[in-house]
Amino acid sequence: MNPSVDGLSALRFDVITLFPDFFTSPLASGLISKALDRQIAEVYLTNPRDFTTDKHHRVDDEPYGGGVGMVMKPDPIFAAVESLPPGSEREIILFSPQGELMDQNLFHHLASRCDQVVLICGHYEGVDERVTHLLTREVSLGDFVLTCGEVPALALLNGVIRLLPGTVGKADSVAQDSFQNLLLDYPHYTRPAQFRGWEVPAVLRSGNHQAIQAWRRQQQIDRTRVRRPDLYQRWQQQQNSE
C-alpha cells in the first residue's frame, strides 16, 4: 500500500463491477477526486467479465429451480476477488437488499479499522448464494431495490473517503455531521441576513458563542425528535444510560 502525501497509508478500495465506466465521472469530481490525487485513498476497478472462460464471457445464468431473471455466476466473482492483493485488515462487502443498512457507524468502522475494502456490485436477480462465503458483510442502501450495486458502492466510497484525514479541510465539519452522537445536524445560514422575508435567527448574529452553541444543540434535539423519532428514542436511551 502506498503512503499518501501526508505520510499515512492510503485506504485501498477494490470495486468488482461489470460497469467500470460508471465510476469515471464521480471519482474525478470534487473532494473525492482530490483525496485520490493526494493518495488518501485508492480505488481500483475490476470487471468479473475479464475472468470468464467461455467465448461469450457470460457472467450470468438461469436460476436453479426456475424463476424469472438471471443470476450472477459465482466463478467470475470468486476469481476477480482472488486476483486482488489481500490487505491485512480487509472487509469484503456485497450490496444486497438483504444486507444491514448502510449508516455512519459503518463508514467510521471502515475508515478507521480497514486498510482494504472490497465492494462487489450485484446485478440481475442477484448473485449465486455461494458468493456469501467470500464476504465479511452484506450492505443495503435502504428498503428499496435498485438496478445495480454501483449506486450504493458510490455512496459508500463517498461516505468513507470523506472521513479519512485530509479529505475535508476542517475536521470539525466532519465531527458535527448529522448522525454523530445519534442527532441530526442543526440548521445552517449564511448571507444575506434577510432573504424573501426569511430572517437569520438573531442568536446566530449575536456574537454570543455560548448562546449559539446552546441554540444549535437544542435545534439538533428538536429536529431529531420531529424528523427521526427512531433516532431520538435511541439518543434518549443513550442519555439515560449515561
pLDDT in tens, 176-225: 666 768 999 999 999 999 999 999 999 999 999 999 999 999 999 999 99
pLDDT bin (cut points 50, 70, 90) of residue 9 is confident
Q: Which residues contact 159 (CB under 8 A, 6 or more apart)?
A: 102, 104, 107
Instruction: Say whether 140 sits in a helix, a strand or coil.
Output: strand
| φ, ψ of residue 119 in degrees (nearest 5) | -115, 120
Same domain? For 108 and 200 the reply is: no
Same domain? For 182 and 110 the reply is: no
pLDDT bin (cut points 50, 70, 90) of residue 4 is low
Same domain? For 92 and 206 the reply is: no
Q: Which helix (H) or strand (E) holds 93?
A: strand 90-101
pLDDT in tens, 142-175: 999 999 999 999 999 999 999 999 998 655 666 6
Q: What is the mean pLDDT of residues 17-39?
A: 97
Domain annotation covers residue 152: yes
- Domain count within the chain: 2
Q: Which three cell numbers stand for residue 160?
A: 468513507
Instruction: Say whether 218 sits in a helix, a strand or coil.
Output: helix
Residue 54 is predicted with a pLDDT of 93
The domain that contains 236 carries what CATH number?
A: 1.10.1270.20
Instruction: Say whether 65 sits in a helix, a strand or coil.
Output: coil
Give the whole-angstrom CA distance, residue 235 versus residue 218. 13
Strands 116-120 and 11-16, bridge-based pairing: parallel
Q: Which domain holds residue 209?
A: 178-241
Same domain? For 27 and 120 the reply is: yes
Q: What is the mean pLDDT of residues 115-138?
A: 96
Same domain? For 194 and 94 the reply is: no
- Which of 105, 130, 161 is at the close of a domain? 161
pLDDT in tens, 62-107: 999 999 899 999 999 999 999 999 999 999 999 999 999 999 999 9
Name the residue type at position 144.
F
Same domain? For 130 and 184 the reply is: no
Residue 199 is predicted with a pLDDT of 96
Residue 179 is predicted with a pLDDT of 74
- Which of 161, 191, 215 is at the close of a domain? 161
Catalytic residues: 97, 125, 162, 177
Domain annotation covers residue 16: yes
pLDDT at 3 over 90: no
Give the whole-angstrom CA distance, residue 171 versus residue 12. 21
Same domain? For 126 and 18 the reply is: yes
Across the beta sheet with 90-101, what order do the strands follow? Answer: 41-46, 11-16, 116-120, 90-101, 137-140
Please tell me the number of Cα atoms within 13 Å of 78 on its side-chain side.
Answer: 10
